[in-house]
Amino acid sequence: MGIKSRAREFISRFCFSWPEICRHFHRAQDIRRTAISHRATIIRESNIRDAARLVSQIPNIVNLGQGLPEYPVPQVLKEAAQQAIAADVNQYSNTWGLPALREAIARKMKHYNGITADPETEITVTVGASEALNAALLATVNPGDEVIVFEPFYENYHPNITIAGGTPRYVRLHAPAYTFDADELAAAFNHRTRAILINTPHNPTGRVFTLAELQVVADLCKKWDVLAITDEIYEYMVYDGAKHISMATLPGMRERTITISGLSKTFGVTGWRLGYVVAPPEYTKALRRVHDYLTLCAPAPLQVAGIVALDMGEDFYKGMVEKYQALRDQLCVVAQRAGFKFRKPEGTYYLFTDASSFGFENDRKMWEYLLRECGLATIAGYCFYRPDARTQNIRFCYAKSPKTIAAAEERLALFTDLMVQRDLAKPRR
């Protein structure tokens, strides 16, 4: 008699049929089952979006928090979008993006990034760079695969990897230079490593990775047969002679790199949600299947305006860089006077500061204090680190008008006065 037969005979003596036992077993499993998925429960809420919601609820806030540019969208882009809507370009577009937009992206990639890409088989338009990253991870990462992430990192990366079933493997960018140790990076690679996420220019630190740094990453990717997924959304925002380098241009990396970018930051259209992915045909084919069932397609009339955006001349980019570099310099003076420590950002439109000297328990407490007591919205640094990290950083956004940054200086002067009063009130030993 086999094991199953003996089990059935034993159970029958207690007046339960085998189907009844099975039903009870599955019912018990249902009782233990929760209404919310495990992946949803381990995703923490966004401090960046928290700050945005609070700003809308608290009057007279000076907002240096979320990356929301205060400058108007170029008029020619608004007119292009309006004309497309008026011309009834309001239905689904080609799922992979309007052919003319993919051709414009191909021209831009060759001219600026040095990457030759076929718009038919290697370029996909997505609903923002965020969807592009999700689609890339879902198309390439299996449960249990490890994805290397430089820490600190843009806060979306941790949930993106989690949703794809991957396991984040963190490699620290060491302050104040915010570069990685080559030995620590090499130790993170192993037979479970599927991909490495590289964000340059880097949010939140403002680093622009050098060719030498990227070469270290490339050599390890080739050694371990690892995919590089690069987030290059701030690619045009580089200062003081720094140069943006796309990973896919390094020898041996074109066939193992997925390059992600978009229009949101460069053209100040964060609400349009226009991103794109450039990848070898086999990766493109897979991520297009995922993209199709995630969002189907990006907004059609805004894609038409995107064609106009990508054909803007060099004067536009030069003016944008000069504007943000001046605003960066203005904010750096303000933050330094207030006692924050930092490395001057080489790119993006963020200033990432060390706030450990102010004596708060953590940066979330300081973020709340700046918001409630000083009327200044920032971003707490903890959201750029793994969930259990202890952090003391504050991020400021300088995609703001000189007037807004001047108003922030007044709020930080108030903060300085409050800190002096606090210190004077402490009992002396």
Q: Are 67 and 273 in contact (CB under 8 A)?
A: no
Q: Are 133 and 160 in contact (CB under 8 A)?
A: yes
| pTM > 0.85 | yes
Element (H, E) at 304: helix 300-310
CA distance 378 to 341: 15
Query: Alpha carbon 362 to chain centroid distance?
Result: 23
Predicted pLDDT at 24 = 52
Question: Looking at 243-387, which runs of residues are DSSP E strands?
Answer: 257-262, 274-278, 341-342, 350-354, 376-377, 379-380
Name, in order, each residue with C-beta under 8 angstroms of 255's C-beta and a sequence gap of 6 or more: 280
Q: Are 399 and 67 in contact (CB under 8 A)?
A: yes
- As assigned by CATH, the class of the 41-70+315-425 domain is alpha beta
Per-domain residue ranges of the chain: 41-70+315-425, 91-312
Q: Tokens in use for 173?
A: 């960018």
Predicted pLDDT at 223 = 98
Q: Are 238 and 140 in contact (CB under 8 A)?
A: no
Predicted pLDDT at 31 = 47
Q: Are 126 and 291 in contact (CB under 8 A)?
A: yes
End-to-end CA distance of the chain: 82
Q: Are 330 and 219 in contact (CB under 8 A)?
A: no
What kind of fold does domain 91-312 have according to CATH? Aspartate Aminotransferase; domain 2 (3.40.640)
Mean pLDDT by runs of 10 across the 429 residues of the chain is: 51 48 52 75 78 79 91 95 98 97 98 98 97 97 97 95 95 97 98 98 98 98 98 98 97 98 96 97 98 96 98 95 98 97 97 96 95 94 92 97 97 95 77
Name, in order, each residue with C-beta under 8 angstroms of 303's C-beta and a sequence gap of 6 or more: 93, 97, 98, 101, 125, 274
Predicted pLDDT at 407 = 97
CA torsion angle 210 260 182 386 (round to 10): 120
CA distance 413 to 411: 5
Q: Tokens in use for 276?
A: 């794109």
Nearest Cα to 71, choosing from 318, 323, 325, 377?
A: 323
CA angle, 238 as apex, 235 and 240 as ends, to 5°? 165
DSSP letters along 352-419, please? Answer: EEE-GGG--SSHHHHHHHHHHHH-EE-EEGGGGS-TT----EEEEE--S-HHHHHHHHHHHHHHHHHH
DSSP letters along 28-68, please? Answer: HHHHH--SS-HHHHTSPPPHHHHHHHHHHHSTT-EE-SS--
Tally of CA atoms within 13 A in the half-sphere of 362 that contains its CB = 10
CA distance 155 to 48: 9
CA distance 274 to 402: 28
